Structure 1
């Protein structure tokens, strides 16, 4: 099909859909054009910035008519920032959109009897702002100016911000104190192209008591240069309980390096999930939304419906959050995780909470899980919480052999979730219920919990 537009053209289109990336979808003679910062129902004048055989990309020149789903974003940086994709959409519409994304993926994979499965409305937040307990911002120099903030949409250019409305309420003070200190003391900023300079990122974490951990990530050991900064910021923000310098001297997009130097306070902050306590270090994986984590885990445990005679596997267990919660009801729990630091934290959390019936195993799930099964450790219930790539084939094959009566699948990617559910249906499992949860308001991400049970 000949392209109806070429790069540089200005044309009018109507947005008819929103894709899984949060881009508006419009068509000219069945030729698809994607446009950021738009919603279904928007009528636009756009400039074509890319046109290939299958699709084009446009940027907004003028909004001719705004969608009924539109809401002016609270954040002044939204239209440039890549952190949030759908803050311009009314929050109730965001929740519907996330459920629709999930349903589309399930339908696309032709899951058995999916029309009769209860797919519940997305569990949202009363206040979908200031919800993140962890945030990391890169730093750079552009035209002699210090920039601190998230990346622009689709680039490594930094949006220079004073505050971020999905981060904790101290973000503005922390960024401004750091900015002033760097400028006053002429601290060098890392250049990812030349691999020169020092400070690369700032990372903030906070617990439910609003105690803060601050981490300065640098290519070099600049400990001696940070004394005044640490003194000033801990006096200004008294709930900062921990300040680290993290050394990352590698040419990598990975934020944290392997070496942490404690500059102030404690080596960790403690956080709670229900009545369990967890130690959170700079490298610790921990759910970033306290409010929604409680809802997510409550639903997962409801679906698991653990009895005191059950043996439970928690695969991809991280720092053992679900494992330790499950251990309060189960006879025995086995958590498997590939990240060494996470297993170390899981063991410490087990000790901290005086849990005796949870066992943690280090290694890849596809390697460890089959070995444990061959040793005779058979589960009644398996909880899956894999990364975005989903479960490996060997993991699913082991589930087929093990034949647990129930599987609870916690997913951060609807596409790989649908793929794996299709396989599990082929292994004799029915999908009982599907529950999407909004862990990341104003973004396109959706977390999903699925209850599966073995067919009679």
Structure 2
């Protein structure tokens, strides 16, 4: 059998018409059936492309010149968009982004889960898909003896030194990053150098409450004792009244992980507060809290709708985090049991229940796949299970635990269409029919998509 040779060679200049787009936002064009994946190209466009990598069944190219533009192409408003990589879709109209994300969910469910002929609703987007992030963590570096802050260039740890702002994060976060950098620079606090493993200030994190306008600054440092740290904190809090908390996180390790194990409050409270849908949340430096509160409210409203609670139901919220979904559910349920493997998150969840005077929600530390069989053995029979797993999806043992408990309804909140499709297939084999899917755009200008899925136990399996 003769070996098939790709029809293009590395560094060759070719002209392509793009037919499709990948889930990572790259345009797909073909030469003699051989696909080339090209970042920043859009379906319907004709372009000149330089071939940069050739594999047996596909290749990669670089967009050189757009010959015929798609009407969906827009000028990215960010000055470092093509350097940064934090966003992938700023060159695409927002309408096309929403359509692309719905198609991503639909394709995953069809190809991986073999799920077809169910309603996949249009993606719920934002009226203003900018300045939505309530949290930012920026690396600190040094250039010509001055501190610089900025995201890393794509596929590197080189800080983009001409980054003026990040237009998907709250403006207060931008201002606080600038302020901390300028004050620290004036006080002679050194930046951490990861190659030499020396220096002090590694990252600056800012968290802000969208409703409360409260701000927390987290200084991630290599060492605990920092010269002039008291002066830095004093100047920040005197100049910026919105700052309610300044925290130091110490990370002495030679690692890419941003936060270390030890944190201490330098000034103010250990928490700031925010509200979503009338529920108040205490947010610490390490709390997991959704970065887009506007869309979180829409996501949780849809989860509540699919849960169809009447006030009589017992609900389990698996992977409950700091209790965000649990407390929404508790307002409409008889009882909610939350389970999460991270002890600090459960501690926050209990505090948030007290904060909102919610007494019908209990929280437990543990792996859901181990806790749920124990609950079943104790006689707990949930009417509804809500699950919001990480990107890797659910373990098979957890899916089996849900199937064994036989709730009438499952509400699955997913941040990864591929693992969602895989898990829905297993639940389908366990007697659960997927009824509806609602994509929600939590991260405009990026390729990420969340969705809420409603599943019902088949009538035969309820017997």
TM-score by length of 2: 0.94
Q: Deviation at 1:193?
A: 3.0
* Worse-superposed segment, 136-145 or 77-86: 136-145
1:179 aligns with 181
- Is it true that 1:330 corresponds to 2:333 in the alignment? yes
- Is it true that 1:393 corresponds to 2:396 in the alignment? yes
2:126 aligns with 125
Give CA-to-partner distance per residue, 1:202-242, whole Å, 9 cap, x none: 11111122211111111112444223332333343321111
Q: Deviation at 1:260?
A: 1.4
Which residues in structure 2 correspond to 1:283-294 (within 5 Å)? 283-294=286-297
Report the secondary structure of 1:325's partner residue: helix
Which segments of structure 1 move beyond 6 Å, counting only runs of 4 or more? Answer: none
Q: Deviation at 1:329?
A: 1.9
Give CA-to-partner distance per residue, 1:65-85, whole Å, 9 cap, x none: 322111111111111111111
- Identify unmatched segments of 5+ residues in structure 2: none
- Is it true that 1:38 corresponds to 2:41 in the alignment? yes
Report the secondary structure of 1:99's partner residue: helix
2:203 aligns with 201
- Is it true that 1:302 corresponds to 2:284 in the alignment? no
2:448 to 440, 445, 448: 445
Q: Deviation at 1:184?
A: 3.0
1:158 aligns with 159
- Identify unmatched segments of 5+ residues in structure 1: none
2:379 aligns with 376
Aligned length: 454
* Worse-superposed segment, 182-191 or 385-394: 182-191
Residues in 2 aligned to 1:43 and 1:144: alpha-carbon distance in whole angstroms: 46
Residues in 2 aligned to 1:427 and 1:443: alpha-carbon distance in whole angstroms: 34
Residues in 2 aligned to 1:412 and 1:294: alpha-carbon distance in whole angstroms: 16
- Is it true that 1:13 corresponds to 2:16 in the alignment? yes
* Worse-superposed segment, 136-145 or 289-298: 136-145
Report the secondary structure of 2:321's partner residue: coil
Residues in 1 aligned to 2:441 and 2:235: alpha-carbon distance in whole angstroms: 37
RMSD of Structure 2 on Structure 1 (CA) = 1.8
Give CA-to-partner distance per residue, 1:145-164, whole Å, 9 cap, x none: 64422222333332231211
* Worse-superposed segment, 100-109 or 146-155: 146-155
2:271 aligns with 268
1:83 aligns with 86
Q: Deviation at 1:401?
A: 1.3
Which residues in structure 2 correspond to 1:245-284 (within 5 Å)? 245-284=248-287
Residues in 2 aligned to 1:140 and 1:9: alpha-carbon distance in whole angstroms: 38
2:171 aligns with 169
Which residues in structure 2 correspond to 1:398-437 (within 5 Å)? 398-437=401-440
Structure 1's 220 and 54: CA in aligned 2 closer, same or farther, altered over 3 A?
A: farther
Residues in 2 aligned to 1:224 and 1:320: alpha-carbon distance in whole angstroms: 38
Residues in 2 aligned to 1:40 and 1:333: alpha-carbon distance in whole angstroms: 46
